[in-house]
Amino acid sequence: MKTTKLMKLACTGMLLSCLPAQADWSSTVTVASDYMFNGVSQTRNDPALQASLDYAANQGIYLGAWTSNVDFGGETEQELDFYAGQFRQLSEAWTLDYGIAYYTYLGDSSSSDFNYPEVWAKLGYTWGWGVTEFNGWYSWDYFGYGGSHVIGMLAHTFTLAENHAIRINVDTSNSLDGDRWLWNGNEKSFVHYRIAYQTSWKGFQFELAAEDTTLDRNTADERIVASVS
């Protein structure tokens, strides 16, 4: 079943890459050594094959879909997300990106129980030492458990040279309803640390990241994650 899902996703990726080149449409196919989501592996420390399709409209408005294989230990094997947002250039230095996403999960009849919505806002500031980001996400039904959840992130990208950058981010995930969602049985929040080297070559994007969390679990411990898009 897992092999079949990966083959279907691979075919989807190849179809996306063969779409006619148009200014308003774009697609990306990514191979990663792990699918990390806020510092927690969604594939039980296994590799992931991912694809996206995006449309950019006027005034910075965009919408798209993104998919990846997942492994939650049951029959849920695929994630398919839909999102829409707007990117605005507030000034020469400041940018704002905000929108809404809906995460869906496929595999068996109960996989949809994990579906949930999320809104986000990302504020960026460009200055002499790179780009600093102040990002936040909020869900009122995290992973379908009916609890509120918020993520806050501080990130900075240093440009080393053309096509070479280092991105550092620290984020915290917080359950606002501990009776509905907890990590490790009793933790309402945790911190995630990540540093990544990013480069590009002939249309390919490469990233090598080291990350860790304050969680005590084997799907959220220290690791190196590599990806190519």
pLDDT band at 23 (very low <50, low <70, confident <90, very high): low
Predicted local distance difference test score (pLDDT) of residue 56: 97
Q: Is 99 within 8 Å of 85 (Cβ atoms)?
A: yes
pLDDT value at 2 more than 90: no
Element (H, E) at 12: helix 2-17
* Secondary structure of residue 106 in the 3-state scheme: strand
Taking the model in full, what pTM does it have? 0.89
Give 177-218 pLDDT, tens digit per residue. Answer: 999 999 887 899 999 999 999 999 999 999 999 999 999 999
Beta strand extents in the chain (DSSP E only)? 25-32, 36-37, 40-41, 48-56, 61-69, 78-89, 94-106, 116-127, 130-139, 149-161, 164-175, 189-201, 204-213, 223-228
- Locus of tokens 């792990």: 34
| Backbone angle region of 4, left / alpha / beta, with phi > 0 → left and psi within -120 to 50 → alpha | alpha
